[in-house]
Structure 1
Amino acid sequence: MADETPIEEILNTIGDEHARTVLASVSRKSGSAKELADRLDLSQPTIYRRLDVLQEHDLIKERTLVADDGNHYKEYRCNFDSTVISLEDDEYDVRIFRKENLPDRFTQLWDELGVK
């Protein structure tokens, strides 16, 4: 895993049903906390707690937008394209693939393969 977040923390995060629901929703369509609460029929405090955890592990990104009335709000979106969780010899491996870092990811993969 390119991130230095412990695998157990990532697994615990995506093991939470509400966090998975929020993550799945923002992977399909970005939205504000209020939009997500309405869309997912969850309370805003529940949404905010999950957004905080997902953001802490760099699984989502936020950006600040300005509404027509001039008020600011945050919109959340998924920060990766895919993830692979594998189990080998009683050890988990979590790989998160991000499109925007493709050249860096290729270099890292190349280095991991030991190609010189």
Structure 2
Amino acid sequence: MVAASLPADQHAALIDLIRIYLDRSPRAQAERTLALVREHLDETQFAWRGGHGDESAFYYRIHSPVLLIEYDNHPGIFLTNPEPARFHVHTIVRAPNGNDYGRDLLAQHYRLHHGSNETG
């Protein structure tokens, strides 16, 4: 579902949810990223899979050109839960346009030595 097409209350709830993740960053960075997210709402997708009950396991993804957030309930690896459970959670926050973990050294190498940004 495209985030911009959500009803006003769900749109506001989505922005609040995104803020929860961004507020882990320094305030100025969080505000810059949120402004970018708002600029790309027409290209932002929201996906949900799973239940809606208080004990239900679920997954969601918020994916825009500037931000990727995933929340997932997992089965145990070293824990004993064979099915996804609300107490075993994994989250991911990434910048799909790159540089969220530093320089893209492979792209830099290709650009400097092969005249392109291609990595493969």
Tell me, yes or no, whether TM beats 0.5: no
Tell me the TM-score normalised to structure 1 length.
0.30
Larger Rg: 2
Which has more helix, going by share of residues? 1
Which has more strand, going by share of residues? 1
Tell me the TM-score normalised to structure 2 length.
0.29
Higher relative contact order at CA 8 Å, sep ≥6: structure 1 or structure 2?
A: 1
